[in-house]
Amino acid sequence: MAKETKTQGQKLAEKLFFKLKDCWEELDEKNEKKVEEFARLYKEFMNQGKTERECTGIAVKLLEKHGFVNIETLGGKQPKTGMKVYSNIKGKALTAAVLGKKPASDGCSILGAHIDSPRLDLKQSPLYEASGLALFDTHYYGGIKKYQWTTIPLAMHGIFVKEDGTEIKINIGENPDDPVFTITDLLPHLAREQMQKKASEAVEGEDLDILAGSRPYKDKEVKEKVKLNILSLLHDKYGITEKDFASAEIEFVPAFPARDIGLDRSMIGAYGHDDRCCAWPALMAMLSFTKTPEKTIVCYLSDKEEIGSEGNTGACSYGFKHFIWELCGGSEANLRLCLSRSSMLSADVSAAFDPTYADVFDKKNASYMGKGIVLTKYTGSGGKYGASDANAEFCAKVQALLDRNKIQWQFGELGKVDKGGGGTIALHAANLGIEVLDCGVPVLSMHSPFEVISKIDLYTTYRGYIAFLNDI
């Protein structure tokens, strides 16, 4: 046997310091395969679900496959122990639950993530022709660095709704045979003035116009021939006219698929990790329950987080609360009891420490790639404005449960004080009386067209969410 050579100080340091391990180093071969398989399914999901509507569609299909029924089909009857129910919130958000052995009024265990991501929306009258080119005028959605959205391939997603209510789904640019779209940028040769501008002004919001075509309609007698040709193509394929854009929800997103990053394939690059890298593990954690849980477990996938969670599909709306009310048998008193006794992980991403931009991070409070699930006690900006500051008692409870289940967690304040900030859906749930803690995956290049996460953090987060639903 080797001699004990540790000094008193070394032993004390081991006992007292909070040490963060690299999750990869802890991983055995069997779990390595699980990490890889989880990442593969996630990438598939990311390639299919690039908008909140598409993600809702995928989630509903998976839930139904796993025996969840639309709560509307119960005709007002109270869902019973062991039942799996879901509610589709206007096709853009959803809630799902497995009814536990205890009544819902004893409190639920909730995972809440968002499935909207920063993107470019079409304006109501977007199509115009200029100098022989057809262009789409956009209005960006969520916090983006505008210059990042030029000169990349873009795909067109969304729906048109005709006057008779017929919905026409659009998805152009994801199939390798599809055309894609792009936003042009100025060549460096002529960009002397542009390059002197602030990064926030180098490409302005009103300049994010998407190249849509350049082939004229063959008729000498008409004006705006290129625009007419685009409208004619859209009319032939989808039966729509220019007026239909006024009601449509068309979102332009990066056209590239999710890919492995690095020679070691340890990371995933994709559009929309924020917040689908938490939404997917949350949904998968729900689906992993084959037996009736003790408490009722709930998964909430919300919309509009990136623009403040307002609106009837956002976390400020009544949709989520109404679903919980239904789980409580339609009793307002039970709903209040339930909310005051419920626990929730606001499943959302944090900014991973980036050595290239080390200045904006507080190293000892930052989250790191490959170091596990991130617990963010508070978000907000400035003096914690707009934050949901999780209660110490609840934080300690979540930390203990992750430790108990051998799931590595790390801290994650979003950057140095006064360097910026952000928010999640946490405060909206907290305002209802629920205990909430932000908890998710660290991300590099957040809100860019191609964000990066670590496969091991994705898997650790999934395990963390299962542990939470089982054990809180």
Nearer to Mn ion, 129 or 303 (CB): 303
What would the x/- binding string for Mn ion be over residues 185 to 224, using CB under 5 A?
A: ----------------------------------------
Residue 408 · residue 460 · CB < 8 Å = yes
Query: What's the rounded Cα separation, in Å, for the pair 124 and 160?
Result: 11
Query: What's the rounded Cα separation, in Å, for the pair 379 and 387?
Result: 5
Query: What's the rounded Cα separation, in Å, for the pair 120 and 254?
Result: 10
Nearer to Mn ion, 335 or 374 (CB): 374
Binding segment for Mn ion (CB under 5 A), chosen from 128-136, 168-176, 237-245, 343-351, is 343-351
Nearer to Mn ion, 129 or 348 (CB): 348
Quickly count: other Cβ atoms within 10 Å of residue 352's Cβ. Answer: 25
Nearer to Mn ion, 105 or 367 (CB): 367
Binding segment for Mn ion (CB under 5 A), chosen from 45-53, 187-195, 218-226, 347-355, is 347-355
Quickly count: other Cβ atoms within 10 Å of residue 11's Cβ. Answer: 11
Position of minimal CB gap to Mn ion: 275
Binding segment for Mn ion (CB under 5 A), chosen from 6-14, 88-96, 270-278, 396-404, is 270-278
Site for Mn ion in 365-424 (CB under 5 A): none
- Rounded to the nearest whole angstrom, what is the least distance from the CB of residue 144 to Mn ion in the complex? 10
| CA 211 from centroid of its chain's CA atoms | 27
Query: What's the rounded Cα separation, in Å, for the pair 303 and 425?
Result: 10
Residue 285 · residue 112 · CB < 8 Å = no
457 binds Mn ion (CB under 5 A): no
Nearer to Mn ion, 213 or 423 (CB): 423
Query: What's the rounded Cα separation, in Å, for the pair 411 and 374?
Result: 6
Q: Where are the beta strands (DSSP E) in 142-284?
A: 154-161, 167-172, 209-213, 249-254, 259-261, 267-270
Nearer to Mn ion, 104 or 351 (CB): 351
Angle at 450 between CA 116 and CA 308, to 5 degrees: 25
Binding segment for Mn ion (CB under 5 A), chosen from 171-179, 185-193, 271-279, 285-293, is 271-279
Angle at 404 between CA 403 and CA 408, to 5 degrees: 30
Q: What are phi and psi for residue 84, nearest 5 degrees?
A: -115, 120
251 binds Mn ion (CB under 5 A): no
348 binds Mn ion (CB under 5 A): yes
Q: Position of tokens 């140095």? A: 416
The single residue among 251, 274, 303, 326 that binds Mn ion, judged by CB under 5 A, is: 274
Binding segment for Mn ion (CB under 5 A), chosen from 179-187, 245-253, 272-280, 335-343, is 272-280
- Rounded to the nearest whole angstrom, what is the least distance from the CB of residue 370 to Mn ion in the complex? 20
Q: Which of 269, 272, 291 is nearest to 280 (CA)?
A: 272
Nearer to Mn ion, 115 or 226 (CB): 115
Nearer to Mn ion, 275 or 413 (CB): 275
438 binds Mn ion (CB under 5 A): no
Nearer to Mn ion, 348 or 413 (CB): 348
- Rounded to the nearest whole angstrom, what is the least distance from the CB of residue 113 to Mn ion in the complex? 8
Quickly count: other Cβ atoms within 10 Å of residue 205's Cβ. Answer: 13
| 3-state helix vs strand vs coil in the chain, percent to 5 | 35, 25, 40
52 binds Mn ion (CB under 5 A): no
The footprint of Mn ion on this chain (CB under 5 A) covers a number of residues equal to 3
Nearer to Mn ion, 160 or 353 (CB): 353
Query: What's the rounded Cα separation, in Å, for the pair 260 and 75?
Result: 46
275 binds Mn ion (CB under 5 A): yes
- Rounded to the nearest whole angstrom, what is the least distance from the CB of residue 411 to Mn ion in the complex? 18
Question: Which pair of tokens denotes residue 87?
Answer: 């509610």
Binding segment for Mn ion (CB under 5 A), chosen from 62-70, 129-137, 274-282, 463-471, is 274-282
451 binds Mn ion (CB under 5 A): no
- Rounded to the nearest whole angstrom, what is the least distance from the CB of residue 32 to Mn ion in the complex? 28
Query: What's the rounded Cα separation, in Å, for the pair 103 and 109?
Result: 12
Question: Which pair of tokens denotes residue 311?
Answer: 């609106």
Q: Which residues bind Mn ion (CB under 5 A)?
A: 274-275, 348
